[in-house]
Amino acid sequence: MDETRSSFELSPNSLRRLTDPTRLPFQTTASLPPPAAIIGQQRAHEAMDLALEIPDGRYNLYVSGRPGTGRTDATLALVRAVASQRHPRSDWVYVYNFESPEEPLALELPAGRGRSLAHDGMR
């Protein structure tokens, strides 16, 4: 019994992997791109894909998990990938209505122009 057991025993040094940091092609992990998916979470990734395909604005995507697992970076990468394939939506801004102050005017602007309008108004 002991002979069989000893053939499967590992030494403490074989239980961990040592990596020489000077052989890595980066200085810090901050320069690495975010992961394309949440590692080990294929079902979660598929659920996120499904959620992002629902065109109804009344639905939301909720992501939870332990801090430091890369869920935020992976989620943002997935959302950005989906958004880059879609036509950008218009910006909607509300401006003061001098004729009827209790009813602001809604203006539809090309995507991204709402921020520049707000910035121009601050000058």
CA distance 95 to 103: 9
pLDDT band, residue 110 (cuts 50/70/90): very high
CA distance 95 to 119: 14
CA triple 24-65-48, angle to 5 deg: 90
- Which pTM was predicted? 0.51
| CA dihedral of residues 79, 81, 84, 85 (deg, nearest 10) | -110
Is residue 122's pLDDT more than 70? Answer: no
**DSSP E strand stretches across 1-123:** 91-95, 105-109
What is the tens place of the pLDDT at every residue in 51-66? 999 988 888 889 888 8
